[in-house]
Structure 1
Amino acid sequence: MKQSKQKLFFWQNTNSIHQAPFFRKLSEYSQIEVWLIVCEPLSRERILMGWQEPALNNTNVLKINKDFSWRKLIDNNKDNKCIHIFSGIGAFPSIHKAFKYACASSCRIAILSESLDMRGVKGFLRNIRGYCHYYYYDKYIEFILAIGWEAKEQFKLWGYNQNKIVDWIYTMENSKIEDITEVKEGTPFRIIYVGSLYTWKGYDLLIRALDELADIDFIADLYCVNDSNIEKADLIQNSIKQKNKIRLQAFLKNDKVRKQMSESDLLILPSRYDGWGAVVSEALMEGTPVMVGYNCGSAILLQNNEMLGNIIEPLTDNEIKKELEKKIIEGKISMEKRLSLKKWAEKHISAEIVVEYFRDILVYIDNKESEKPNAPWIKK
């Protein structure tokens, strides 16, 4: 008798380049059917940052609109072979409606979530909402894919059993750059930042720290400018003392920014808060060390793993300056180290590895007596 396929339905806001490699690789398995249901097109902001909606080959992509009956999709797919994985709880109205309907329909349900920003009054209210969601929905949720160390801690805090919380990650494309150039002696230490000009990204801390490195040879390119913030970027650039060393650049398409990462000695993401920080994974894929704010989800990669870079704590301009001085004095990254970082990334955070881990999670969920799988990117 032919065995029926397992069906996995991922409900989220948009079709993102940060999950595309995972979906493509997962869809290669003949015994698994993958569906992606989205409620929004790629935002204008993401498009201005150089993003494009990825093609997903064998993944079934559906868009929630007036012509799409998502209720019918759930009604027809609620047996034991179907798992519905929702992006957050209450994060996106259309997705949350589907989540509540799936709960009422006795579907198998999982959650995929970054941490919530708990700063300030809004953070206090989000925390209360987290407890409420636990009270109402815990009994329906089989497992939680927690993105970053803080997400895992938040779900534990709200009361979810830690046996249903598993570490999760965004997946990036493997490096397509094969030629690694030799380090040129006498060239400046290259620092790269890729991100927005929002305060929570910590760009202001970075610029202040860089501007105090007066007697050190470096070049810092901050890829952060688009049509919507060009006036703000001009004001910032004009306020910088070391204009020849610290340069605010236009966003590039993903393949071009990956090339810049591959030629840099350090990527820095000094975010005050960041659910993950995908550029950290991308830099590691290119063999470039990283420096990450402790409130970034991707800081979990660096815990007990100094080879990859370091975590900035406390997150102040003085601390960033001190850590940058150390890195620059250590010197440019060697070809050998770049190769070793690329190999680490391929063996620990590539789509192939993450899909293997995900399949182990599914086995664990179906057989609670099996041991909970350890995330391959977390060094014990």
Structure 2
Amino acid sequence: MADPVWFWQRIVSPHMAVLAAALAAQGRKVTYVAEQEMSADRAAQGWHAPDLGEANLRFAPTVNAVRAAVSDAPETSIHVCQGLRGNGLIGIAQKALAERGLRQWSIMETIDDSGWRGVLKRMEYRRVIRQWRSKLEGVLAIGHTTPHWLAACGIPPERIFPFAYFLPESHVQNMPNFDPAAPFRFLYVGQFIERKRVDFLLDALAKFMEVEFEVALIGSGPMETKLRDIADNKLPGRVKWLGKKPIGEIPSLMAGADCIVLPSRHDGWGAVLSEALMAGTPAICSDSCGAAGVVQAGGGAVFPAYDTQALGDILKGALTAGRQMAEQRKDLAAWARCLNAETGARYLEAVFTHAQDMTITVHPTVPWAHVFREQEAK
């Protein structure tokens, strides 16, 4: 029987729990350990804990509970832990797992290392990695720049495996039939906070008022008043405020948009981009989003994070190209199945096999390595 796998996360995250459930469905014995079901801030954003299927859910909200869970783990178990530093009780678990000599993996997102704080972060991560690299069997690196960043900080490249947040299969069964007279619809989904730079998007779109389009915004946050002022002054009548929506409603709303845009100055991944592609909706994002590599593989466009002109050119290009037809969107959704949890679980199995068999010299191929055919044709 395959070695049991334990996931260690702070919450029952929709982005990781579905992977654990898929791995369990494929025959692994899986345990998912979390400090709590859901944090207050994530619940306020519409998140809810997904069904873990055949995986065992265990809560460890205290130091003693964490140590008891580590003590119960089988000798042959593999442990996938969230991050390497600053993750609450997970740090206690990582130390206890190391004391037992159990096989340990870290799963890490893209790190925001901009500005002077970034210099300090890189120094701190180099220190932490020196401390931990001998204890790690491997690192699952989420984000297109993360593998290189981790290698530069001291993780041996052969132990770094590009990874993603794999999501449930989209429930959108049919691509929508758009009204030909309806304006081209851009979509943003997420918090209204400075890091997401929704104002950057609105300012860029304000340059094309001579073209028919609208932009739908799903979410909320402290910048909403400022964004409404920008919309009223620069995009009158063009912005649709849809408010917060439960996660389960998002795919259908994405399927009703012509293009999703994530202009963040930093996003560890940007799961909304994966969700949009799985719904057949083309994507645009900054190169500071971890999912930028997947967006490019899916035929989307990526712009330098602080290049206003580049974003404007890409938005104008999307408007000029016009709405994609239903058949194209179905093809994109079919390609994006490389991002679903079942595919992610099979890839993780291949990663574990590679790490155990030192005769295998080539890393497993990432699921999104084969680019969307529309991109290949360019």
TM bin, normalised by shorter chain, reads over 0.9
Which of 309, 313, 316 in structure 1 is aligned with 2:304?
Answer: 313
Residue 186 of structure 1 and its aligned partner are, at CA, apart by: 2.3
Distance 1:178 1:328 in 2: 26
Q: Does 2:326 correspond to 1:366?
A: no
Q: Determine the structure 1 residue equivalent to 2:83.
A: 88
Counterparts in 2 of 1:234 and 1:248: CA distance versus 1, 3 Å: farther
Q: Does 2:23 correspond to 1:26?
A: yes
Residue 19 of structure 1 and its aligned partner are, at CA, apart by: 2.0
Q: Determine the structure 2 residue equivalent to 1:59.
A: 55
Counterparts in 2 of 1:133 and 1:379: CA distance versus 1, 3 Å: farther
Query: Structure 2 matches for 1:1-380, cutoff 5 A?
Result: 3=1, 5-30=2-27, 32-66=28-62, 69-77=65-73, 79=75, 81-225=76-220, 229=222, 232-240=223-231, 241-303=234-296, 305=297, 307-313=298-304, 315-346=306-337, 348-370=338-360, 371-379=362-370
Counterparts in 2 of 1:373 and 1:13: CA distance versus 1, 3 Å: same
State the identity as a percent: 24
Secondary structure, in 3 states, of the residue corresponding to 1:279?
helix
Decide whether the 8 Å contact of 1:261 with 1:267 is kept in 2.
yes
CA deviation vs aligned residue, 1:103-144 (integer Å, no higher than 9, x gap)? 122111111010211012322111111111121111110010
Distance 1:22 1:44 in 2: 23
Distance 1:249 1:76 in 2: 46
Counterparts in 2 of 1:73 and 1:238: CA distance versus 1, 3 Å: closer
Of stretches 366-375 and 315-324 in structure 1, the one that deviates more from structure 2 is: 315-324
Residue 379 of structure 1 and its aligned partner are, at CA, apart by: 4.1
Decide whether the 8 Å contact of 2:10 with 2:90 is kept in 1.
yes
Distance 1:313 1:122 in 2: 21
Residue 316 of structure 1 and its aligned partner are, at CA, apart by: 3.0
Q: Determine the structure 1 residue equivalent to 2:375.
A: none
Distance 2:317 2:345 in 1: 37
Amino acid at match of 1:265: D
Secondary structure, in 3 states, of the residue corresponding to 2:25?
coil
Of stretches 175-184 and 54-63 in structure 1, the one that deviates more from structure 2 is: 175-184
Distance 1:236 1:132 in 2: 40
Counterparts in 2 of 1:106 and 1:314: CA distance versus 1, 3 Å: closer
Decide whether the 8 Å contact of 1:148 with 1:169 is kept in 2.
yes
Residue 314 of structure 1 and its aligned partner are, at CA, apart by: 5.0
Residue 276 of structure 1 and its aligned partner are, at CA, apart by: 0.2
Counterparts in 2 of 1:87 and 1:66: CA distance versus 1, 3 Å: closer
Decide whether the 8 Å contact of 1:183 with 1:333 is kept in 2.
no
Residue 308 of structure 1 and its aligned partner are, at CA, apart by: 2.6
Secondary structure, in 3 states, of the residue corresponding to 1:284?
helix
CA deviation vs aligned residue, 1:149-190 (integer Å, no higher than 9, x gap)? 222111100121111100111111212121223343222001
Decide whether the 8 Å contact of 1:206 with 1:317 is kept in 2.
no
CA deviation vs aligned residue, 1:14-60 (integer Å, no higher than 9, x gap)? 11111232122111133x21111112442222222211111212111
Residue 363 of structure 1 and its aligned partner are, at CA, apart by: 0.9
Secondary structure, in 3 states, of the residue corresponding to 2:261?
strand
TM-score, length of structure 1 as denominator length: 0.92
Secondary structure, in 3 states, of the residue corresponding to 1:311?
strand
Of stretches 161-170 and 90-99 in structure 1, the one that deviates more from structure 2 is: 90-99
Secondary structure, in 3 states, of the residue corresponding to 2:215?
strand
CA deviation vs aligned residue, 1:182-205 (integer Å, no higher than 9, x gap)? 343222001100011121112121
CA deviation vs aligned residue, 1:91-113 (integer Å, no higher than 9, x gap)? 31210011012112211111101
Secondary structure, in 3 states, of the residue corresponding to 1:6?
coil
Decide whether the 8 Å contact of 2:141 with 2:162 is kept in 1.
yes
Counterparts in 2 of 1:94 and 1:252: CA distance versus 1, 3 Å: same
Q: Determine the structure 1 residue equivalent to 2:374.
A: none
Secondary structure, in 3 states, of the residue corresponding to 1:212?
helix
Distance 1:45 1:217 in 2: 36
Q: What is the root-mean-square deviation in Å for CA atoms of aligned residues?
A: 1.8
Secondary structure, in 3 states, of the residue corresponding to 1:42?
coil
State the aligned residue count. Answer: 368
Distance 1:281 1:363 in 2: 26
CA deviation vs aligned residue, 1:219-267 (integer Å, no higher than 9, x gap)? 1011122xx64xx413421332223102333011122221110011100
Of stretches 66-75 and 21-30 in structure 1, the one that deviates more from structure 2 is: 66-75
